[in-house]
Amino acid sequence: MPTAIYPGTFDPITYGHIDIAVRASKIFTKVVAVVATNPAKNPVFSMEERVVLAREALKDVPQITVVGYSGLIVNCVKEYGASAIIRGLRAMSDVDYEFQMAYTNRNMLTSAETVFLMPSAEYAYLNSTLVKQIARHGGDIGGFVPEFVKNKLLGKVVC
């Protein structure tokens, strides 16, 4: 199987993202996790910080590399010679947005298919926004992100 890219904001990377990236690495020879700029989301971490955290989180999986990218995902797909775009689907609530994006990407580039993967059930409710909210309110996020991510996040949100 060829190369897939796995784009996202990863602000910060969670066990849900890691679960999807690892699943993708069992299907594709090479997976490029693409940390994208997303001004709409007003990220807590800079792109460089998100790349560092994602690299650390995924360092034990040799097929996965992590890069930062500002620009259209379809251009990134072409740059890496990928034939698939991985996205995670947690619940029906993800479907509208994900389908919109998948159809738009297909419209711009027909040579790549969007492939949706489901996480383990234990991560099906997990998202970075929730993790940041819990951290801001002093809750325990140890079950949602690796230790080094937790420490970095607490450094950011707890003043």
**Beta carbons of 128 and 109 less than 8 angstroms apart:** no
Rounded to 5 degrees, what angle do the CA atoms 125, 97, 47 make? 75
Applying CB under 6 A, does 106 fall inside the site for ligand ADP?
A: no
- Quick one: which of 127, 136, 146, 156 contacts ligand ADP (CB under 6 A)? 127
Applying CB under 6 A, does 90 fall inside the site for ligand ADP?
A: yes
- Quick one: which of 3, 4, 5, 16 contacts ligand ADP (CB under 6 A)? 16
- Quick one: which of 17, 30, 150, 152 contacts ligand ADP (CB under 6 A)? 17
- CB within 8 A of 45, min separation 6: which ones? 11, 12, 53, 152, 156
Applying CB under 6 A, does 43 fall inside the site for ligand ADP?
A: no
Applying CB under 6 A, does 38 fall inside the site for ligand ADP?
A: yes
- Establish whether 137 is a catalytic residue: no
Give the pairing type, strands 84-88 and 3-8: parallel
- Establish whether 128 is a catalytic residue: yes
Site of tokens 């010679």:
81
Applying CB under 6 A, does 28 fall inside the site for ligand ADP?
A: no
Listed as own residue / partner, the contacts of 103-106 with beta carbons closer than 8 Å and 24 or more positions apart are 105/73, 105/74, 105/77
Residues identified as active-site: 17, 41, 90, 128
Q: Which residues bind ligand ADP (CB under 6 A)?
A: 7-10, 14, 16-17, 20, 38, 41, 87-88, 90, 94, 119, 123, 126-128
